Amino acid sequence: MSIFEAGMLICFGISWPISIAKSIRTKVVVGKSPLFMAILCLGYASGIAHKWLYSRDPVIALYTLNLLLVATDLALYFKYLPRAARA
């Protein structure tokens, strides 16, 4: 396990709860990119696959947590998108 890999995932992971909380609080998703979030999900899924197949270690939990957080933010985007379209 690399402490640098874990540090990167922790730093990235800190931002997603903030983004999720803002989406829930304001119900505004203007300016968010679903393509960007989908690409991030794909990247985290690739990290999970690599860890699962070649290097099983505790960092897989950080990849999984980040994937779940980004997927939650993406789901909120689509939930609140109709509201943005009406405005």
Q: Is the pLDDT of residue 65 over 60?
A: yes
Q: What is the mean pLDDT of the chain?
A: 92
Q: What is the pLDDT of residue 2?
A: 86
- CATH ID of 3-86, from 1.20.1280, 1.10.3470, 1.10.260, 1.10.10: 1.20.1280
Q: Which two three-digit tokens encode residue 15?
A: 């931002």
Q: What is the pLDDT of residue 84?
A: 58
Question: What number is the average pLDDT over the span 1-29?
Answer: 92
Q: Is the pTM of this model over 0.85?
A: yes
CA distances from 44 to 17, 60, 85 (A): 16, 10, 30
Question: What number is the average pLDDT over the span 60-76?
Answer: 97
Q: Which residues of 45-60 are buried (b: 16+ CB within 10 A; e: fewer)?
A: eebbeebeeeeeeebb
% of residues, the chain, pLDDT over 90: 84
Per-domain residue ranges for the chain? 3-86
